[in-house]
């Protein structure tokens, strides 16, 4: 009986050698520590003020698109509060938003409507990401 050559074992060994060589040669040369990029100081207070101003500028749309249709269906509760958790990146563009309702007086349909609005926050670049938690009471 003739002995067969183990081609599978040879193929595995050659592939492993090629991968190892590729990993070794593909590494960038290490010269020294990489300097940290320069980052402007974050003006969190200014960003917070701009987020409050943006939220207040949206109040008429909140009332017209979300509050008034809800009140037309049911008069109570006469007021409801919603907490906005807004996150902007270092360029001042919104990257995250959460809207929650207070348990004591809320309108679920208004909360759902507010979550569906597509207008996104844009403020002057704060230099780093900023998170703000702000409360809005509707209708005033």
Task: Kindly report, residue by residue over 104-113, the tens digit of the pLDDT.
Answer: 878 889 999 9
Whether 59 maps to a domain, the answer reads yes
pLDDT for res 71: 94
Q: Model pTM?
A: 0.67
- Does residue 19 lie within any of the structural domains? no
* Residue 21, domain member (yes or no): no
Residue 109: how many other CB atoms lie within 10 Å: 14
What is the total count of domains within the chain? 1
Instruction: Judge whether 63 lies within some domain.
Output: yes
- 36 domain residue, yes or no: no
Looking at the domain assignment, is residue 29 inside a domain?
Answer: no
Joined tokens for residue 72:
């037309």
End-to-end CA distance of the chain, in Å?
Answer: 94
pLDDT band at residue 35, thresholds of 50, 70 and 90? low
Structure confidence at residue 6 (pLDDT): 77
Specify if 130 maps to a domain. yes
Note down the domain range covering 85: 44-138
Evaluate whether residue 105 is within a structural domain.
yes
Q: Which among 99, 94, 57 is positioned nearest to 81, based on CA atoms?
A: 99
């Amino acid at each position: 009986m003739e002995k067969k050559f183990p081609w599978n074992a040879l193929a595995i060994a050659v592939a492993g050698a090629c991968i190892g060589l590729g990993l070794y040669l593909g590494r960038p040369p290490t010269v020294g520590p990489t300097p940290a990029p320069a980052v402007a100081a974050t003006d969190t207070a200014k960003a917070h003020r701009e987020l409050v101003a943006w939220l207040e500028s949206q109040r008429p749309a909140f009332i017209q698109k979300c509050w008034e249709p809800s009140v037309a269906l049911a008069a109570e509760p006469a007021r409801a509060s919603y907490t906005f958790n807004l996150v902007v990146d270092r360029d001042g563009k919104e990257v995250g938003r959460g809207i929650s309702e207070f348990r004591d007086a809320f309108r679920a349909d208004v909360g759902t409507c507010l979550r569906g609005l597509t207008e996104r926050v844009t403020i002057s670049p704060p230099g780093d990401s900023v998170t703000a938690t702000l409360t809005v009471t509707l209708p005033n």
